[in-house]
Amino acid sequence: MQLRPYQHEAIAAVYEHLRQRDDNPCVVIPTAGGKTPVMASICKDAVGLWQGRVLILAHVKELLEQAADKLKKVCPDVRFGIYSAGLKRRDTEHAVIIAGIQSVYKRACELDAFDLVIIDEAHMIAPEGDGMYRQFLADAKTVNPNVRIIGFTATPFRLKSGPICTPDGFLNHICYEVGVRELIVQGYLCPLVTKARASRADFDRLHVRAGEFVADEVEDLMDDDQLVEAACREVVQYTQDRQAVLVFASGIKHGRHIVRVLREKHGIECGFVTGGTPIKEREMILGRFRRGELKYLCNVNVLTTGFDAPYIDCVVLLRPTMSPGLYYQMVGRGFRLHPGKQNCLVLDFGGNVLRHGPVDRIKVKERDTGNGQAPAKQCPECNSVIAAGYARCPDCGYEFPPPERQKHEAKASDAGILSGQATTTRYQVHDVCYSVHSKRGAGEDAPKTMRVDYRIGWHDYKSEWVCFEHSGYARHKAVQWWKERSQVPVPETAEEAVDLAEAGHLAPTRAITVRSVAGERFDRIIGYELGEMPPVPDESCWTEEDVDFPFGANAVSAEEVPW
């Protein structure tokens, strides 16, 4: 299996963290962005290079099956076992064990010592108390005090307590993060589109308990006859040309109501699964959906984490939620690419976009009560939902009134799913200038960067900053940037980098590709057309040789185990 560039970057960032820090890292990759191949590659290195032992933990059997499948593809020579009651396996002796937390949370001693514990969907670790993950991890540390924990998630936050990485938690630092919009632009995730909703419920009268809307109140509100019938009309209208429609209902009664209206009013068969659906019936329904025999599928709190159906090209949110993670997971069912799938349509009848913001810019607040200002707003002209700070709609140019008038004229909306439009432009480079840059207000000992200014027109420049003096991921990117342009060892300081650049040791830059996003202050250079790399100079003029990252796909002599 060939890893994508950002997956290689994630692996390098993990190893750098384990080498440089004593705490535990977390990797953030969007749903459908490929966390499992990264985990499998780490297992391969841990066993093959460092003779370590690894445990992969997840909370649903679908994630365990995905991990097993990727291990077979990435490292077929690594023996792995599975410990899961749901999968009817209880292996304990292998170098890599894939386990369901429900099956092993009391059995850390039985499984013996691990060097690494990798947790998929790491936001499931409870912030406090005696949850299953916390109990197991505490026991695992007793068995091996030096065990290192690596978390993987698409949503590095919890509903009630905010970020999952804290100084005193099991996970302490996000070592690598790649965003939804970035992967969409690069072609690794499916674009999302939306339509404005004509059918809306009044969510202001819902009460919040333990950080979430009261379930009975939500179902009573959403199960209104007129609302269900109007919503089903819109769903049918917008999905005529869609191939697979996944509906999230507010409760069992509400879900059955949706299925009945689609059947009786529109002649449409819609499958229905809940947590109480018998296993064989559930597998039969999901099988028909996967084979394309069933176009519409409604569910209640089931098909979120771990449900892999890349052909889904419409997600219908017929429920509100206060949880930004649940909102993200529901929408994320449409992120995966599939042949013939141009985009995924999101129909939000639950006010979730205005509540949490565009899915690539989710706003997370600690102890959120739902009474704060909405992080998004609707354009009254084109019905686009955009970030709240826009004065002009980036889609149609509508000028929003000043805040004093807007509070009287604003209309609630449930449309929209991504923030400002992104554009990419290729520029010819006429000249390149290098300089040492110090951050404004920083002390004399603060790391400096090399500023690179590309002249693309008369007094028109695009700039970037290369962080040779920083550590972690920033240094890794600087090393990568330099090695693509020069055969001279990577410099340690910005001043040394500027001297080498001005001495002609970098390949010339012919053109750059720049990404601009409406509403964002800075553009980003995402591509380069480079000229021929200068020849290797006489070794007598070299500086001290730079030490490369000794792990991952570019591994060199790595005698020291990173954990």
Contact 354, 376 (CB under 8 A): yes
Residue written as token pair 């679908």:
62
- Strand 431-437 with 449-457, pairing: antiparallel
Which residues, at least 6 apart from 111, have a Cβ–Cβ distance to it below 8 Å? Answer: 55, 83, 92, 97, 99, 104
Bridge partners, residue 212, by sequence: 209
- pLDDT one digit per residue (tens) for the chain, 563 residues: 789 999 999 999 999 999 999 999 999 999 889 999 999 999 999 999 999 999 999 988 888 888 898 888 888 888 899 999 888 899 988 999 999 999 999 999 889 999 999 999 888 888 776 789 999 999 999 999 999 999 999 888 775 557 889 888 899 999 999 988 889 889 999 988 876 555 567 787 788 887 788 888 888 889 889 899 999 999 999 999 999 999 999 999 999 999 999 999 999 999 999 989 998 999 999 999 999 999 999 999 888 777 778 899 999 999 999 888 888 889 989 999 999 899 999 999 988 887 887 777 665 554 443 444 445 555 565 455 555 555 666 555 666 665 443 322 222 233 346 665 566 888 899 889 999 988 777 788 889 999 999 988 765 678 999 999 998 888 999 999 999 999 999 999 999 999 999 989 999 999 999 887 655 667 789 999 999 999 887 654 444 443 333 333 333 334 456 66
CA distance 445 to 423: 38
User: If you ran DSSP here, which 8-state letter would residue 23 be given?
Assistant: S
Handedness of CA 8, 11, 13, 19 (dihedral sign): negative
Please give the domain boundaries of the chain with CATH numbers for all domains. 5-178 (3.40.50.300), 192-419 (3.40.50.300), 423-543 (2.40.50)
pTM here? 0.64
Give the pair of three-digit tokens for residue 552: 């991952």
